[in-house]
Amino acid sequence: MRAVYGIVVRELVRFRRQRARVLASIGRPFVWLIFAGAGYAAVFAGRNEIDYRVYMAPGLLGMVVMFGALLAALSTVTDRDAGVLRMVLVAPIRRSTIALGKALGATVLGTTQAVVVAALLLPLVHLRPSLADGLLAGLALVLSSLALGAVGLVLAASIRSLENFAGVMNFVVFPMLFLSGALYPVRHLGPVLRLVAYVNPLAYGVDLLKHALLGAWAGAGYGGELSPWLDVAALAGFAVAGLVAAAPLLAREGGVTRTAFRERA
């Protein structure tokens, strides 16, 4: 378990060094709140059920978790390119330990960033959750970070190189965000997209966050749409499935020798 701790500590030290990354992750949701929030709030203005900026708050926290945890897990691609993954692979630890360390690092980073953003964002939109709701929101952040970290690991282990990274951003990160219920309720989506939304871990995370933060608007149809138990179970399922799938992929031979061999052959 010392190895897991070591992997997590390295993630934190790296993150702290990257000041631009810290600022971007904290600032991003506020940019969305101001620009997307202003536009959508105007569209929503005729209806008085909820201020759109309040509606956005759980989704924005979900977004912070997604960027925080997913990008942390995707750093495995950089680790492979830079050779650091080799140091980890030659250590006397199991592949599952590596996957767990990486996923927990992503969890700590995703959760911490989201908590910092929540402390600034919630007062701004006049959301004052009770202690119980705050704890539920915290649980949602931890579970979402873990699930997204684990799923991110599978993505990272399947990506050949950094060039595919942009593709991941376009075809994974943005659909994941838009199909999460972060910006509009999932029930407004067509049947096909709704189906896609429910294989999206972020959708369960955002839903659980809505249970915690938008309980007062549940009657108007802006609270969580699924059972909170289902959200918790789905997030835990994504986390376990991701970890199980990622462990063998991390050690895949392509990552260690084969590419080097091909270059030479």
Partner 1 sequence: MTAAAIEARGLGKDFGSIRALDQLDLDVREGEFFGLLGPNGAGKTTTVHLLATLLAPTRGTARVGGHDVARDDLAVRRVIGLVFQETTLDRDLTVQENLRFAARLWNLPGRLAVPRIEALVRQFGLFERRADPVRTLSGGMRRAADLARGMLHEPRVLFLDEPTAGLDPRARRSLWDLIRRLRQASGLTVFLTTHYVEEAEPCDRVAVMDHGRLVALGTPADLKRTTGVGSLEEVFLARTGHPLAETGAG
Residues 55, 127 contacting (CB under 8 angstroms): no
Q: For residue 31, what is the enclosing H or E element? A: helix 19-44
Residue 9 engages partner 1 in binding (rule: CB under 8 A): yes
Question: Residue 42 or residue 82: which is nearer to partner 1 going by CB?
Answer: 82
Instruction: Please state the closest distance from residue 56 (CB atom) to partner 1, in A.
Output: 34
CA–CA separation, 196 vs 120, rounded Å?
Answer: 32
Instruction: Please state the closest distance from residue 90 (CB atom) to partner 1, in A.
Output: 5
Beta strands in 84-188 (DSSP E): none
With CA atoms as reference, report the closest residue to 137 among 69, 207, 51, 202.
Answer: 207
Site for partner 1 in 71-110 (CB under 8 A): 82-84, 86-94
Residue 19 engages partner 1 in binding (rule: CB under 8 A): no
Residue 5 engages partner 1 in binding (rule: CB under 8 A): yes
Residue 262 engages partner 1 in binding (rule: CB under 8 A): yes
Q: Is the dihedral of CA 184, 235, 196, 191 positive or negative?
A: negative
Q: Look up tokens 């993505």; give the residue.
A: 155
Q: Which of 126, 187, 188, 258 binds partner 1 (CB under 8 A)?
A: 258
Give the interface with partner 1 as residue ranges (CB under 8 A): 2-3, 5-7, 9-10, 13-14, 17-18, 82-84, 86-94, 253, 256-258, 260-262, 264-265
